[in-house]
Amino acid sequence: GFVASTVNYSVTVASYGGGNKYYILGIPQNTLELMEGNTYIFDWSSANSHPLRFSTTSNGTHGGGSEYTTGVTVDTSNYKTTIVVASGTPQLYYYCQYHSGMGGTANTPAAVNNTLQVTTTNGGNDNISAATYAAFDDVIFAATGFTFSLSNGDLIATI
């Protein structure tokens, strides 16, 4: 299943290739993957003269586009831009409100399963007998790169 989460990014600015660029995760103009359903908070307090915005156009308003505001909150007092990525959000680009050429691409892929779901026997009750539990011997389940089995009631996992 999928469980939405909140991801925090610190945004800094430094000169790279002849001009100032946003650095996210230490990478200039980092291409981001903003998964649908998640919330992303961009803290640009260390780059407070470079307000981070989103657009569906590369380089935003500097590239002839407009600011993307769906699900976006900009807190200019605390230097944070928050986006809740809705289902169907288009390809986005992040950019500086005041300066051209600083931003990068923000892909918006559909949510993928990110949690383990377990189906139990006996309705989830922890009261099956040792004999019943042991009867699960030699049952093998597999996923790419991961296998596990039950043997004499013991879980054996191999990665």
**CA pseudo-torsion sign 62, 67, 68, 74:** positive
Does pLDDT of 113 surpass 90? no
Least confidently predicted of 31-40, 57-66, 102-111, 113-122: 113-122
Given pLDDT bands bounded at 50, 70 and 90, which one contains residue 159?
low
Q: How big is the chain by its Cα radius of gyration, in Å?
A: 23
